[in-house]
Every structure is written in C-alpha cells, then in structure tokens.
Amino acid sequence: MIQRVCLATFIALVGAVAYGQSSRPSPAPAPLFPVPAQLQTRVAFWERIFSTYAERITILHDRENPGLILDILDFQSARIQRLFPSFTREQVTAFYVQRYQQAFSRFRSLGKGALRYGAIEARLLSVYGKAPGGRAALFWGHPQVHAQKGLSGTFRQAAQRAQPFLPLMEKIFRKKGLPPILTRLPFVESMFQGEALSSVGALGVWQFMKSTAKQYMIVNHFIDERRSPIKATHAAAMLLSENYEVFHSWPLALTAYNFGRGNLEKAVKKLHTHDFIQILERNDMRAFGFAGKNFYAEFIAACRVYAKLQEEKIFVSSVRSQAQQLAILQPRNNMSISEILRKTLVTQRMLEIWNPGLNPSAFTYFRNDHLPSAYSLIIPQSFLPSVKKAFYGIESAGFL
C-alpha cells in the first residue's frame, strides 16, 4: 500500500507538470507520524514517564488531559513515610485519588467556596486555572484523576532487552515495505517482555490476543508463536499493514492495533471523519478508554526516548554473538521434537532459547506430536549439518 501511495503521489506531480502547474510550489509531504499541537502535551507527558520519573514515583494527573499534573507521590520520601507508615503503595495512591475526586466534587457544588477545605483544593485551582478552559472544567465539568507510575528504569531495561531483536524486527518491517520505526511499538505494549500477559489474555512482546493471533500465527495445544518475538513481529507487520490499508493513516492504524480495527471503523463511520484528533476528542465509545486515547502518544514518546538512549550509547553488546547465524527450518511430515533431540546434536535448551513459541508441554506431553508443516524451527546454523544428516532432504528455508 505504501508503495502505491508513493506511486500515486508521483503520478499526481507528473500530471501537474503536464497541465502547466509546475510553477506552483509543491507542498511539503505530510509526516507519516504527525504530532499535531493538540497532541504535544500528551506526548510530552509520556516522554517524562518513560525517561524522567522513576518507578518509586506515581503521578496523579487529569485522565483526559495527562499534561495537567495534580500531584507527584514519591514513595521513598520522608513525607509519605511519615504520613502513611503502615500503608501499602496501592492504599496511599487510592487515598490521594479519592481525596482529589472529593475536591472536584466540592468545586462543582461550592465553586470557589471549596478552597476553605484545604491545600488540595488550592492546588486544583492553581493547576486548572493556568490551563485553557481549565476553570470551566473544574467548576462545571467532571474531571477524573488517573494514577500513572514512573517507568524510566523499566524503559531502560526494556531497551536493553530489545537489542538482540530490534535489528531483525526492523529487517522484517523493511521487507514488508513498512516504516521500521514501528518496531518501537513493543515498548508500549510489553516493554519487550516475551512472557508479558495482560489481564485480558494478550501475550508476548506484541501483545496479541489468541483470537487475533490465530489469523497470523500458529497457536495450538503445544505451540504459541505469540511468545516468539520474531514470529510475532511477522504477524504484527501484517496486522499493521492491513490497518494502514483500511485507514491510510499511521495514527489511526496504530490506534486500531490497540482499540481494534472493527471498533475504529465504527468510530470513523459514526463521527464521519478520518481526522485522528477529532476521533481522539469526540469518540465516546466505552471501549475507547485511557489506553486507547494515549496509545499513539505513547508510541511517539517511546520512539523519542529510545532515540535519545541510542545517542547515549548505553547498550552493552548483545547476548547473541554477532557471528552466530540462525537457520530457519521447515519441518518435514512426521517430524517431532523427540525425533530432533534423539537424532541430531540439537539440544532441548537450544530449542527453548531460539523457539520460545514452543510451550513447555512441547517437551513433555506432546514431544512425540508432529510439528505443523507451516511451523518454522530456528536453530544455530552450525547445527544444520547434523539435522540434514538425520533428516534426509531437509533444507534451510533461510537465515536470520
């Protein structure tokens, strides 16, 4: 699709010259990942979450306008430890959220009379009084407090975990004609944790739901390719490409990755617009919650923060040897894990490391089950002769 868009742009320019319009200056091409003014505060908030605020910090902010910071709770500060000596972090956070919500209610019912209740009310008036439309929201709206934990240390750890995978991921996206910077999306989805499991069942670095994954990967009783960063990257590239085909916009295509393509199509139809900011501000579908509204902003912030870390050159060398090449094998019929381990020099540990999509049960209950012919097995290239000798006629399907 991207190539077709470029071709259409080229044809349009040629047509302009043919009809004598070449004297007009050509407009600058629209950026693939725009950050309009309405989104800049939201992006800046997530940049601070990913790069400035440590994990000991919880930020209390306006749910709809994250740039409106209400309070910063430092759980290693003397103030918190003195006021809440025997409370958990969750209990302290819940106390402050409830207290701020109470202050919002007082402003709605008492106006400036709410200020007599204390410092929290005074702080709210100060924060909202400086924001465009803030006073109206405070006195007549229904602001909600959201608590967000700092992730600066987590992001740095994720950036280190990503090092063995990002070059391969970028290569996969380039081959499919997609912007390689899209490979920063797992920072938002899972912080590059291969075993990340969400509360609704999304799994892996790309956080695929099982129902969606089955359209692009093998998910059965002993294989779950959502756990494989490389296999899941192929699937994510296909899904994002299809989203772009539908919406012709990367902000929308990325939002659909989180919100669901069908849900976003309904929002576009209901609001009669493909404008991302209009959808962000006017989409009142219940499923379009905090995560959906912030997904694109988080992605932009993750791209910027990772780029800064790259400039700092903080990453240690990858665990994977640069000289070690990996071979991709397409299993033959009647080929099982037990056969591979029995007939070749490949070890179970090797298969576990390079094929995380194999569930633990693949080496126990289902070790004698035939591997699907569509499944590609990854092994170190140096062990390829052993496999070729044991399984006559098998060849590598490529290298990583």
| C-alpha dihedral (168, 170, 174, 180), degrees to nearest 10 | 170
Query: Residue 211 corresponds to which tokens in the numbers above?
Result: 């129902």
> pLDDT tens digits, the chain, 400 residues: what are they?
444 344 333 333 333 333 334 445 556 667 999 999 999 999 999 999 999 999 999 999 999 999 999 999 999 999 999 999 999 999 999 999 999 999 999 999 999 999 999 999 999 999 999 999 999 999 999 999 999 999 999 999 999 999 989 999 999 999 999 999 999 999 999 999 999 999 999 999 999 999 999 999 999 999 999 999 999 999 999 999 999 999 999 999 999 999 999 999 999 999 999 999 999 999 999 889 999 999 999 999 999 999 999 998 777 655 444 445 888 888 877 789 999 999 999 999 999 999 999 999 999 999 999 999 889 999 998 998 888 888 877 766 666 6
* Contact indicator for 68, 127 with CB cutoff of 8 Å: yes
Query: Residue 317 corresponds to which tokens in the numbers above?
Result: 């060398």
* Contact indicator for 356, 228 with CB cutoff of 8 Å: yes
Q: pTM score, two decimals? A: 0.88
Q: Which CATH class is domain 154-312?
A: mainly alpha
Q: Is 30 left (phi over 0), alpha (psi -120 to 50) or beta?
A: beta
Half-sphere exposure of 387 (CA within 13 A, CB side): 25
DSSP labels, 267-300: HHHHHT---HHHHHHH---TT--HHHHHHHHHHH
Every domain of the chain and the residues it spans: 57-149, 154-312, 326-399
